[in-house]
């Protein structure tokens, strides 16, 4: 829940960055998929969808960081 809040705040702080908005939506979907997967006693189809969502989310995070120009110092 803390991660979701941080991503929502970070995404709204960057109104010009479309990847931030997509990232916020994907985090919400990822949290929902994770909860549903656990409640379904780890249904394989849902677990695979959750893993695919994690790959998409990673790509969005990398794209967002690249687009904002944040660099490791």
- For the entire predicted model, the pTM comes to 0.69
| pLDDT 10s digits, 37-62 | 999 999 999 999 999 999 988 888 88
CA distance 50 to 27: 11
pLDDT score for 67: 75
Cβ neighbours around 51 below 10 Å, total: 11
Question: Which tokens in the block code for residue 6?
Answer: 């941080």
Check residues 19 and 13 and name the one with the higher pLDDT.
19
pLDDT score for 24: 82
Q: From residue 73, how far is each of 17, 54, 62, 69, 70 by CA, in Å?
A: 22, 26, 16, 12, 9
Question: What average pLDDT does the segment 20-43 reach?
Answer: 90
């Amino acid at each position: 829940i803390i991660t979701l809040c941080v991503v929502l705040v970070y995404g709204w702080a960057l109104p010009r960055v479309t990847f931030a908005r997509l990232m916020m939506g994907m985090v919400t979907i990822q949290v929902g998929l994770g909860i549903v997967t656990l409640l379904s006693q780890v249904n394989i189809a849902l677990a695979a969808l959750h893993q695919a969502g994690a790959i998409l989310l990673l790509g969005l995070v990398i794209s967002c960081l690249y687009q904002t120009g944040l660099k490791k110092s």
